[in-house]
Amino acid sequence: MKFIYSLLPAMLLVLFSVSSCKKYLDVTPDDVATLQSSFSNANEAEAYLFGCYSAMQSLSDVRRNAGWTASAEVVFPINLSDPTTLGGAGGDDGFNLMRGLQNAENPIMNYWDGYNMGLNLWQSIRMCNTFLANVNIPPDLQPYQKTRYIAEAKFLKAYYHYWLLRMYGPIPIEDVAVAVNASTDAVRQPQQTVDSCFNYVVGLLDQAIADLPAAIQNQAVEQGRITSTIAKAVKAEVLATQASPLFNGNPDYVSVKGKNGQNMFSTAVDPGKWQKAADACKDAIDAATAVGAGLYQFVPEGNIVHMSDSTKLLLTLEGAFVDSWNREQIWSLNPNFGWQYMASPRVDADAASNGFAVYSNFSVPLAESELFYSRNGVPINEDKTWDYTNRYVLTQGDDAHAYYIKKGYTCPKGNFFREPRYYADVAFDGSTWYGSGNTDDNNPYYVNAVNGYASFQPIRYNVTGYWPRKLVHYESAAGQNTVWKTYVWPFMRLPGLWLLYAECLNEVGGPSSTIYGYLDQIRARAGLQGVVQSWANYSNNPSKPLTQDGLRAIIHQERRIELAFEGQAGWDLRRWKELQGVLSGPVQGWNYTKKTVSEYYQLQTVYNPVFNVRDYLFPVQTYDMLINPNLVQTPYW
């Protein structure tokens, strides 16, 4: 049952049917002169509400999401001369966050003012406040409509505050619409403490949850509107973020004070925050289950020449993300993901012949490829049966890996005997490619990055030799008649919520059968044994899942694997205070310009990341500090 959704084109149809005829993303009334018409009737009020959604929709663009561009999961070539490669000038700004190019004069991903791939979320919050202040005006707005509209606006206002909060730490709270004739002092609001901000967001979400439907019933018309199930899942994430090391007694921030001398961050760790987060996770899981959420399973349809069980499993793991609106996706955002041509290698002559069909620029660092487990379900550097030391030694594809690696093709041993999620999520030189018009996995396309279709071409190249395959739908085909099977961008999936609950429970009380149960469900779908069994049988650290610290490391890695390339890792690594460690080494890949195997398989450094303590939070633009002297700058900026 497909009940849990975010905004879809169906919602846009509603907008086009209202009497105002305003386009969805253009509904941005921002002054008193427009209020009379914007709230003249129920249709106009609904159009204004959908305008409040517009910034949320824009967040589906991964280029705007630091959880994606600054996650160390994907890098972008830094010497491209073509300004159209990623949507025009500035489209790749977010990737510069890992290169140490952030600054306070003109911040990258400026969500305070709306520059450099950021959005002005204060403007979006003001729209929500204006809606809430005027929703009583339309004479034909029914009470049940008004109640729901108010709840949706409160959710949006809460989420926009949350997005700013996890980026900047202490922020002002904009709870009511500010009059256009307000005094200068009235608009120069100071930041509130971090805990006050989190509590405000949670309070708004609780208000919204009470009046939102649990699921969308009329999907043809309303599919995509916020539900109480979505709001509960967001509440769980908010509370887990508040409980995490970045915000919960972080010693790096103990001296940060507001202009009134008040501590802006908590000065001591509060373990009780993890319990609140765990309770919220369980509530969200129960709510999702009640409306039909469950693990996705791929069902073959159409003209399938041959599909092995191995390929079917890979399409299940991929489809959980790219099969739009499936029962596993708790919250997804439109518009459609538009960057498959950046994530895909060229696997056939058609793709290579069309100069603008496939660019391949989204490049997965070698370290990210090595994050995925061995086939035994443990880290490759822990598996006592896996040859970690010789992982770069070249070998040839064999019968045992025929559905993953081209038989007879030469590539590193590190690509062999890996877990299914590795083959579902990452493409590499020699990997088979099911799809792109070829549905025979006994005779599949494959990636030839040395001297074939996927090899180096100016502008259209991959800088590491690894692609985020997970982002490309198998029905997409690039060539003279390019067809991209588009899909919406999932913000939350059920396994992510399970992993969040497991994390919170472990922080509260350490390992338990409940935690193992949630982890093992995810692993079983990926063809792996349970956590305890896998570590006992194959790891050189068999007791790791039996301790709180060990299980924490396992949960963190499991979350990074399961949610790879989904825009979550960057935020997780920040709240865990682990991103600095991940970015402490060079971004590496293979020598992608070379045309022989021996030359291609030479490790090279793409660049050395620069990430310091100050980079965990984003700077407020210096200009904003000048016009509002009540603000304090983000720590260390």
The string of DSSP codes covering 176-188 is: SPPPTT--HHHH-
Q: In the chain, how long is the greatest CA-to-CA distance? A: 75
| pLDDT tens sequence across 119-134 | 999 999 999 999 999 9
Q: How high is the pLDDT of residue 79?
A: 67
Instruction: State residue 493's pLDDT score.
Output: 98
Which of 348, 238, 233, 234 has its CA nearest to residue 291?
A: 233
**Would you give the DSSP letter of residue 13?**
H
How far apart are alpha carbons 73 and 554 in whole angstroms? 18
Residues 333, 61: contact at Cβ < 8 Å? no
Give me the DSSP letters along 52-96. HTHHHHHTTSGGG-HHHHTSSS-B--S----TTTTTSTTTTGGGG
3-state secondary structure of 274: helix
- Other beta carbons less than 10 A from residue 272's beta carbon: 11
Classified as helix, coil or strand, 448 is coil
Q: How confident is residue 85, by pLDDT bands cut at 50, 70 and 90?
A: low
Q: Output the six-digit token pair for 390.
A: 């010789």
Confidence band, pLDDT 50/70/90 cuts, at residue 8? very low
pLDDT score for 3: 33
User: What is the predicted pLDDT for the residue at 186?
Assistant: 80
Q: What's the token pair of residue 619?
A: 């700077």
Closest C-alpha to 614, from 634, 588, 594, 592: 634
Question: What is the pLDDT at residue 179?
Answer: 79
Tens digits of residue pLDDT in 329-388:
999 987 789 999 999 999 999 898 877 789 999 999 999 999 999 999 999 999 999 999
Query: Model confidence over 293-306: pLDDT tens digits?
Result: 999 999 998 899 99
pLDDT at 90: 63
- CB of 447 closer than 8 Å to CB of 428: yes
Residues 27, 350: contact at Cβ < 8 Å? Answer: no
Could you tell me the pTM of the whole model?
0.93
Task: Say which DSSP state 446 is in.
Answer: E
Q: To which H or E segment does residue 333 belong?
A: strand 329-333
Which residues 6+ apart lie within 8 Å of 614 measured at CB? 634, 635, 636, 637
pLDDT digits (tens, 9 = 90+) for 268-290: 999 999 999 999 999 999 999 99
Residue 7 has a pLDDT of 37
Phi and psi (nearest 5°) for 405? Answer: -130, 135
Lowest mean pLDDT among 12-21, 518-527, 564-573, 591-600: 12-21
Sign of the Cα torsion 450, 452, 457, 461 reads negative
pLDDT value at 161 more than 60: yes
CB 343 within 8 A of CB 362: yes
**If pLDDT is split at 50, 70 and 90, which confidence band does 231 have?**
very high
Q: Which residue has the tokens 């708790």?
A: 330
Rounded percentage of the chain residues whose pLDDT exceeds 70 = 93
CA distance 141 to 85: 46
**d(C-alpha 479, C-alpha 355), whole Å:** 9
CA distance 273 to 240: 8
2, pLDDT greater than 50: no
How does DSSP classify residue 433? E
Q: Please name every residue paired with 363 in a beta bridge, in sequence order, or none if there are none.
A: 75
Stretch 443-451: mean pLDDT: 97
Average pLDDT, the chain: 92
Q: Cβ distance 240 to 232 under 8 Å?
A: no
What is the CA 481 to chain-centroid distance, rounded? Answer: 30
277 conformational bin, left if phi > 0, alpha if psi -120 to 50, beta if neither: alpha
Peptide bond before 335: cis, by omega within 30 degrees of 0? yes
**Distance (Å, rounded) from C-alpha 511 to C-alpha 581?**
25
3-class secondary structure, 148: helix
Say yes or no to pLDDT of 88 above 90: no
Residue 89 in this model has a pLDDT that exceeds 90: no
- Cα 184 from chain centroid? 38
Single-letter amino acid code for the residue at 542: P
